[in-house]
Amino acid sequence: MTDSPTRRRAPAMSTEQRRAMIVAAALPLVAEHGAAVTTSQIARAAGIGEGTVFRAFGDKDELLDACLAEAMNPGHVLRELASISLDEPLPDRLTQAAEALHAHLGRMGTVIGALHGTGHRRERDRGGREGGREGGREGDRPAPGNREASMTATREAIVELIEPDRAALRLEPGKFASVFLGMLFTRSREPSPEELVDILLHGALKSGGSAA
């Protein structure tokens, strides 16, 4: 008689893995409903019991802050930028970068706008800085200065995309990246990413034209 195969259980999630899973399920709901989203809605979306939500997060505000931190996290867009092939022409590289950054800004703006519009305010610690409640886990929310660190990392990623064409540019890659990001972050719906890159590389004047 042969032994029946032993059924193996899937390894249990760590606390941080469970928190990340809940945030991933919550983000679309937060973008749609803002602070009005309920923990029961989030639990259903994550396929877990509502009690599990509160074992991972102290309360709904802590979960909403974690969603906000994830929306602002530049890690995803930095990976997208790193995946752009340096073998492609510079205009194509920059267009892909502009599209990735535009999508990231759109996602971030949607979540921030939804939370702000429904009255959610980020907690502040006793020193008045943005952050979690005393004793909270490190990494739940962006620490002071993270915005500058994110911008620096993004700029460095753009510089890396530009570097192969250094000799063809009038500006060194660092300055070019700053101009590119400045145009991208201050634009409205117009111009499109392709038009923005074309203007940046070739100017606004038609060939042979003069503004005089």
Inter-helix orientation angle 90-117/173-186, to 10°: 40
Taking the model in full, what pTM does it have? 0.73
What confidence score (pLDDT) does residue 185 get?
86
What confidence score (pLDDT) does residue 148 get?
87
pLDDT at 25 over 60: yes
* Confidence category of residue 9, pLDDT binned at 50, 70, 90: low
Mean pLDDT along residues 81-94: 97
Cα distance between residue 85 and residue 74, in whole Å? 19
pLDDT at 139 over 50: no
Pick the residue with more confidence: 14 or 205? Answer: 14
Domains of the chain: 14-72 (1.10.10), 73-124+140-205 (1.10.357)
pLDDT at 7 over 90: no
pLDDT at 180 over 60: yes
138 token code pair: 């490190």
Taking a C-beta distance cutoff of 8 angstroms, is the pair 114, 30 a contact? yes
154 token code pair: 């993004």
Taking a C-beta distance cutoff of 8 angstroms, is the pair 151, 71 a contact? no
pLDDT at 137 over 60: no
pLDDT at 2 over 90: no
Pick the residue with more confidence: 154 or 129? Answer: 154
What's the whole-number average pLDDT of the chain?
84
pLDDT digits (tens, 9 = 90+) for 48-79: 999 999 999 999 999 999 999 999 999 999 99
pLDDT at 10 over 80: no
What confidence score (pLDDT) does residue 122 get?
64
Taking a C-beta distance cutoff of 8 angstroms, is the pair 82, 157 a contact? yes
Task: Quickly count: other Cβ atoms within 10 Å of residue 33's Cβ.
Answer: 15
Q: Tokens 């979960």, residue?
A: 63
Q: Burial letters for 63-90: b for 16+ Cβ neighbours within 10 Å, e otherwise? A: bbbbbbbbbbbbeebbebbeebeeeeeb
Q: Tokens 């620490």, residue?
A: 143
